[in-house]
A and B are shown apart, each in its own frame.
Chain A
Amino acid sequence: MDTAQKEQIAQEPKASVEMTGSVALLEGLIAEGVDTIFGYPGGAIMPIYDALYDYMDKLNHVLVRHEQGGIHAGQGYARTSGKVGVVFATSGPGATNLVTGLADAQIDSTPLVCITGQVFAHLLGTDAFQETDVINITTPVTKWNYQITDATEIPEVLAKAFYIAKSGRPGPVLIDITKNAQLQKFNFEGYVKCDHIRSYRPRPHVRQEYVQAAADLINQAKKPFILWGQGVILGSAEQEFKAFIEKSGIPSAWTVLGAGAIPTDHPLNVGMLGMHGNYGPNVLTNECDVLIAIGMRFDDRVTGRLDKYAKQAKVVHLDIDPAEIDKNVKTTVPVWGDCKETLPLLTELVEAKQHTEWLAKFNDYMRQEVEAVIKDELFPTSDELTMGEVIQLVNELTKGEAIIVTDVGQHQMVACRYAKFNNTRSNVTSGGLGTMGFSLPAAIGAKYGAPDKEVIAVIGDGGVQMTIQELGTIMQFGVAVKVLILNNQFLGMVRQWQQLFHDKRYSFVNITSPDYVKVAEGYRIPGQSVKEREALKAALKTMIEHEGAYLLEVMVTKENNVFPMVPQGCSVSEIRLK
C-alpha cells in the first residue's frame, strides 16, 4: 500500500479502500492500539509478514526463538501493561507450539490475541503441508477462536477478538487465517471497534440486594477475613480494593496472582494463601466467621482439602465470572460483577472498623513463622546460600520497585513469599498452569510492557533450560532483562515432594546444568556465577546496575525445602512449619 492510500484511511476511516486481508489485519491492530507483536514467521503466515515489512515504523515485531517463547512474551506484556498481548505464528507446528501458552493464559485469565496462518482454504482437511486442525486443538484452551477463510471477515472478527480477549474475565483468543484470505484483495471500509456481542454478557448489572446482603454479613462479622486474587488487578480496582479494606479494617491475604495489588507492607496485608503461603492466613481461614473472596477462584492450591475448608464461615464471593460462584466453595452471598464497580458499593455500606485483636492473631502466627521458617531462610547462619536471602537482597537493592517474573517450582514459591512489591502488575508468574519455562520469555514481554521498570526473571535451573533459546531474542533486540538463576542442582519442588512423601526416592530430579555464564557469553550477554555469601550482594548490585541484559547464577543450597506447607489432601489448618 502506498502512502496516499494510507493517508486516505487515516482521514476517512469509512472510505472504502482496496487492500489485502493481511494489510487489513495490520490496520486493525493499529486501530486497536497495538504497538508490539511477538512472533515467528513461516509458510502459511508469509503474506502477513510481507505486509508487516511496510509497517515496521508502526508495529514493533519481536522475533522470538520459539512460538512458545512468543506467547509467553505476549503474556508477560499483557500482565505488566494491562493491554492485550498480540502473537503471530504460522500454521502446523507454529500453531501447536502456542498451545501451552494458550492454556496458561486461559487459566490465568490473560488477555491475548493470537494470529495463526493456515493453509489455503481449498487445502483444509487434505493433510496439506503444515496443516493442523488448530481451531479444534485450541478450543479447550481459548476463550474464543475463529477461522477466517475470506478476507472480508478480517476487520469484524479482529474487533470481536480484542473485545472478547479484554472484556469480562479476560482470556486468550486465537484467529486462524487461511493463506488465501491473507492474500485476497477486498474493499476495506474502515475498522470499527466492537463493544457488544448479543450472546456475550461480560458485565452484569450489579444487584444492590447482593451488595446489601454482603455488607450485612460483613458488618455483623467478628472475625472477617479477605482473600483477594488477580481479579483486583485485572479489573484495575486496586484503589477501590484499598479503600474497602482500609474502611472495613479487615485482614487481607492474597493468592499468588493477586500479589502486588496493594503494597507488600500495607498493615492489613497479612500475607500469602495456599500450599506454601503464610501460616496465619492458612490457619485462620478455618477460624474466621466471614470469608470475603474478591476476584479469586478457590484453586485447590489455595483451599487444600475442600471439605475441611472454612466450614465455619459464611462466604461472600465477588467475581465477574458467574461460573466461579459456588464452583468450589459454596457461597453465602455472591456479588456477581466487576469488582471495580462492586467494591465501592460495598465500601459505602460497610461500617468503618478496626479489628485489632483479630489482626493481632495474624501477627502472632507471623511471629511463629518468622521463628520457625523465615529467619533461617532470609538470614541463614549456615555456609550455603538460600533462595530466600537472594530475594531478600533483591528487595533491598530494588526497594520493591522491580517487576519480578518467576518460573515454576521452589524458587517461585520463595520469590512470591518474600519479594517485596510496592506496585501493582509487578508480579508475573505462571499460577494456574504451573508452566516451567515461562519466566525467561515472559520477562522479555514484561519489559516491553513496562520499559521503564527493572525486570528481573527469577528462574530455577530446571525451568531455565526449557526456554533458554530466548536468550537469542534478548540478544537480538537488546532487551534489558536481568536473568537470575537460582541453581540448586535439582528439580527442587519435585525433589521436596519425593523427600517428604516418597521416602526420599529421588527419581530423576537430579539435573545438571551447562555453564550458564558461558552460554550467556555465547549470546553476548554478560554474566557471572556466585556461590559465596560475601560475593552475593555485589553480584546482585552489578546485575541490577548493568544497563542491558545480564545473567547471574546463584548456587544455592541443594536440599532446602519450602515451608510452611499444606500437604496435598490436608486441610489448610494442618499447615506444617517443617
Chain B
Amino acid sequence: MSTENIEKQEYNITVYTENQIGLLTRIAIIFSRRKINIESLNTSPSEIESIHRFNIVITETREVVQKVCRQIEKQVEVLKVYFNTNEDVIWQEMALYKVPTEEIAEKALVERLLRENGARVVVIRSDYTVFETTGHREETDMLITKLQPFGLIEFVRSARIAIIKDSEGFNRKLREFERREPGHEPIENEYLNKGAKVFTM
C-alpha cells in the first residue's frame, strides 16, 4: 500500500452538479457525518452553463477521500467528482487586508511591501486602506504577519478555487451523461488498475 493511503494530506475535491436547492446540504453532511472538517468550500458556475462546480478542500488520507467522493457522486444531482492533491491542480486563494492609512503611510515602505507580496491596493481612504493579494496559503499568510505591526484591522481570505491540470473540461463527459444508455464510467480498483491502465477515475 502506498503511503498516500495512510498519510493525510490536502485534497482538492471538484464536484460537477446540477444547480439545485438543497444540494449543498446533501454534500456537506457527507463530510460532517464522518466528522471531517471542510477546510474550504467554493461554489461557482463551471465551463458549462447550468452545471455548477464545487471546490472542496479537506485534509485526509487518499482512502477516506476516495470513499467520500463515491458517496458524493452517489447523490442524484451530482454528475461527477474528481479528487486531486495540490500537485495536480493550479489553485488560488484571495485575501483582503484592512489597515489604518495613517500607520501604514507613515511607518511602512508601502511600495516595497506591495511589490514583495504581489499585493494591490483596492481602496485608499483617509481612515483606512484595503490591500488585496492572491496566491497560495503561505503567501496570503505572509502578508498578515507583515501587516500585523501596522495595526491590521480586518482580514479575510476566500475559499480556494482550483483548476485540474490534466482535465479536458466537462463538455465531453456531459454529452456522455446525456445519452440514455448505461454509463461507461469505470470504477477505480487497485487490482484492476495494475492490470490495465483504463481503470482510473
Check B25 for interface membership: any CB of A closer than 8 A. Answer: yes
Cβ of A393 to closest chain B Cβ, rounded Å? 44
Check A11 for interface membership: any CB of B closer than 8 A. Answer: no
The chain B residue sitting closest to A336, CB to CB, is: B187
A146 to B20 Cα, complex, angstroms: 10
Check B109 for interface membership: any CB of A closer than 8 A. Answer: no
In the bound complex, residues from chain B placing their C-beta under 8 Å from that of A145 are 22
Return the contact of B185 from the options A146, A195, A204, A330 (Cβ within 8 A).
Answer: A204
* Contacting pair B22 A326 (CB below 8 A): no
In the bound complex, residues from chain B placing their C-beta under 8 Å from that of A433 are none
Check B131 for interface membership: any CB of A closer than 8 A. Answer: no
Cβ of A157 to closest chain B Cβ, rounded Å? 12
In the bound complex, residues from chain B placing their C-beta under 8 Å from that of A198 are 79, 174, 177-178
Cβ of B35 to closest chain A Cβ, rounded Å? 14
Binds A, one of B69-77, B94-102, B115-123: B69-77
* Contacting pair A164 B22 (CB below 8 A): no
In the bound complex, residues from chain B placing their C-beta under 8 Å from that of A4 are none
Binds A, one of B137-145, B157-165, B188-196: B188-196
In the bound complex, residues from chain A placing their C-beta under 8 Å from that of B76 are 143-144, 164, 197, 199-200
Check A578 for interface membership: any CB of B closer than 8 A. Answer: no
Return the contact of A205 from the options B18, B73, B182, B190 (Cβ within 8 A).
Answer: B182
Total A-B Cβ pairs within 8 A: 85
Return the contact of A322 from the options B26, B180, B187 (Cβ within 8 A).
Answer: B187
Residues in A303-339 with C-beta less than 8 Å from chain B: 321-323, 325-327, 330-334, 336
The chain B residue sitting closest to A330, CB to CB, is: B190
Cβ of B122 to closest chain A Cβ, rounded Å? 35
In the bound complex, residues from chain A placing their C-beta under 8 Å from that of B12 are none
* Contacting pair A195 B180 (CB below 8 A): yes
Check A213 for interface membership: any CB of B closer than 8 A. Answer: yes
Residues in A41-92 with C-beta less than 8 Å from chain B: none
* Given A198-B79, A334-B189, A336-B187: A209 and B196 interface contact (C-beta under 8 Å): yes
* Contacting pair B182 A213 (CB below 8 A): no
Check A539 for interface membership: any CB of B closer than 8 A. Answer: no
Q: How many residues of A contact B (CB 8 A)?
A: 37
Return the contact of B180 from the options A144, A196, A199 (Cβ within 8 A).
Answer: A196
A195 to B182 Cα, complex, angstroms: 12
Residues in B1-57 with C-beta less than 8 Å from chain A: 17-18, 21-22, 25-26, 29, 33
Return the contact of B192 from the options A140, A200, A333 (Cβ within 8 A).
Answer: A333
In the bound complex, residues from chain A placing their C-beta under 8 Å from that of B180 are 195-196
* Contacting pair A199 B182 (CB below 8 A): no
* Contacting pair B196 A199 (CB below 8 A): no
* Contacting pair B192 A213 (CB below 8 A): yes
* Contacting pair B182 A203 (CB below 8 A): yes
Check A122 for interface membership: any CB of B closer than 8 A. Answer: no
* Contacting pair A136 B25 (CB below 8 A): yes
In the bound complex, residues from chain A placing their C-beta under 8 Å from that of B26 are 139
Q: How many residues of B contact A (CB 8 A)?
A: 35
Residue among A207, A213, A323 having the largest count of chain B Cβ atoms under 10 Å = A323
Residues in B145-198 with C-beta less than 8 Å from chain A: 174, 177-178, 180-187, 189-192, 195-196
In the bound complex, residues from chain B placing their C-beta under 8 Å from that of A205 are 181-184
Check A135 for interface membership: any CB of B closer than 8 A. Answer: yes
In the bound complex, residues from chain B placing their C-beta under 8 Å from that of A146 are 22
* Given A200-B76, A201-B177, A323-B71: A334 and B22 interface contact (C-beta under 8 Å): no
Residue among B17, B174, B184, B189 having the largest count of chain A Cβ atoms under 10 Å = B189
Check B107 for interface membership: any CB of A closer than 8 A. Answer: no
* Contacting pair B73 A323 (CB below 8 A): yes
* Given A139-B26, A201-B183: A327 and B67 interface contact (C-beta under 8 Å): yes
Check B65 for interface membership: any CB of A closer than 8 A. Answer: no
* Given A143-B76, A198-B177, A199-B76: A204 and B182 interface contact (C-beta under 8 Å): yes
Return the contact of A332 from the options B66, B78, B191 (Cβ within 8 A).
Answer: B191
* Given A139-B25, A199-B76: A333 and B191 interface contact (C-beta under 8 Å): yes
Residues in A131-147 with C-beta less than 8 Å from chain B: 135-136, 139-140, 143-147
In the bound complex, residues from chain A placing their C-beta under 8 Å from that of B71 are 323
A327 to B70 Cα, complex, angstroms: 9
In the bound complex, residues from chain B placing their C-beta under 8 Å from that of A199 are 17-18, 76-79, 177
Cβ of A182 to closest chain B Cβ, rounded Å? 20
In the bound complex, residues from chain B placing their C-beta under 8 Å from that of A196 are 180
In the bound complex, residues from chain B placing their C-beta under 8 Å from that of A330 are 190
A96 to B177 Cα, complex, angstroms: 35
* Contacting pair A140 B186 (CB below 8 A): no
* Contacting pair A213 B184 (CB below 8 A): no
In the bound complex, residues from chain B placing their C-beta under 8 Å from that of A203 are 182-183
Residue among B76, B177, B178, B182 having the largest count of chain A Cβ atoms under 10 Å = B76
The chain B residue sitting closest to A144, CB to CB, is: B76
A140 to B30 Cα, complex, angstroms: 8
Cβ of A151 to closest chain B Cβ, rounded Å? 18
In the bound complex, residues from chain B placing their C-beta under 8 Å from that of A140 are 29, 33
Cβ of B175 to closest chain A Cβ, rounded Å? 10
* Contacting pair B29 A139 (CB below 8 A): yes
Return the contact of A325 from the options B181, B184, B187 (Cβ within 8 A).
Answer: B187
Residue among A164, A198, A321, A336 having the largest count of chain B Cβ atoms under 10 Å = A198
The chain B residue sitting closest to A314, CB to CB, is: B191
In the bound complex, residues from chain B placing their C-beta under 8 Å from that of A201 are 177, 182-183, 185
Residues in A265-299 with C-beta less than 8 Å from chain B: none
A321 to B17 Cα, complex, angstroms: 19
In the bound complex, residues from chain B placing their C-beta under 8 Å from that of A120 are none
A359 to B178 Cα, complex, angstroms: 48
* Contacting pair A135 B22 (CB below 8 A): yes
The chain A residue sitting closest to B180, CB to CB, is: A196
A331 to B188 Cα, complex, angstroms: 11
Cβ of A101 to closest chain B Cβ, rounded Å? 19
In the bound complex, residues from chain B placing their C-beta under 8 Å from that of A325 are 70, 187, 189
Cβ of A328 to closest chain B Cβ, rounded Å? 10
* Contacting pair A204 B177 (CB below 8 A): no
In the bound complex, residues from chain B placing their C-beta under 8 Å from that of A144 are 76
13 contacts between A and B (CB under 8 A): A136-B25, A139-B22, A139-B25, A140-B33, A144-B76, A201-B185, A203-B182, A204-B183, A205-B181, A205-B182, A321-B74, A322-B70, A323-B70
Shortest beta-carbon contacts, A-B, top 6: A323-B70, A201-B183, A205-B182, A199-B79, A144-B76, A200-B76
